[in-house]
């Protein structure tokens, strides 16, 4: 299934009564399977979760830990980039060259990579003692 179709479809299920800003995310993992997520807000605002986090959680719950491609879509004037926390979450499971497509519901797309989204990312090897 195309990431665009998957992300567009799951976005409809977003629970965003506070921001009214629905986001959909789709990830193609190493197996080729596609995992999706949408934002899920909460009346206690900080408890809300992003679409990317939902897709990553679905992927890991299914037993996969490698992202090969990601797609994020929202109804915004320009393709909305992932928030800082989601950049770190994506980076955990994706190499720097992995392609991330950011899209608007009106059809605009921007292509970027994990490395471009999070230059200088904190990674496991930074915890190696010198």
Residue numbers at the binding site for ligand THU (CB under 6 A): 16, 19, 21, 23, 39, 41, 48, 50-52, 80, 82-83, 86
Question: Hey, which bits of 9-126 come out as E strands?
Answer: 23-29, 34-38, 67-74, 99-104, 109-113
Tell me if residue 84 falls in helix, strand or coil. Answer: helix
CB of 20 to ligand THU, least distance (A): 9
Nearest residue to 21 (alpha-carbon basis) of 69, 90, 80, 109: 80
What are 96's two structure tokens? 């720097």
CB of 36 to ligand THU, least distance (A): 12
Which member of 12, 47, 52, 92 is catalytic?
A: 52
The greatest distance separating any two alpha carbons of the chain, rounded to the nearest whole angstrom, comes to 50
Q: Report the half-sphere exposure of 120 (CA within 13 A, side-chain side).
A: 1
69 classed as catalytic: no
| Residue number with CB closer to ligand THU (19 or 31) | 19
For residues 50 and 86, the answer to whether their CB atoms sit within 8 Å is yes
CB of 81 to ligand THU, least distance (A): 7
| Residue number with CB closer to ligand THU (21 or 122) | 21
| Residue number with CB closer to ligand THU (31 or 52) | 52
Residues with active-site annotation: 52
């Amino acid at each position: 299934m195309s990431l665009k179709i998957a992300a567009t479809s799951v976005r409809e299920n977003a629970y965003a009564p506070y921001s009214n800003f629905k986001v959909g995310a789709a990830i193609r993992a190493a197996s080729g399977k596609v995992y999706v997520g949408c934002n899920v807000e909460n009346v206690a605002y900080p408890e809300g979760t992003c679409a990317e986090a939902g897709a990553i959680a679905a992927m890991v719950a299914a037993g996969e830990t490698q992202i090969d491609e990601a797609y994020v879509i929202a109804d915004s004037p320009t393709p909305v980039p992932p928030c800082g926390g989601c950049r770190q979450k994506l980076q955990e499971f994706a190499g720097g060259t992995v392609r991330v497509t950011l899209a608007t519901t009106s059809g605009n797309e921007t292509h970027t990579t994990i490395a471009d989204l999070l230059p200088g990312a904190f990674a496991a090897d930074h915890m190696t003692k010198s």
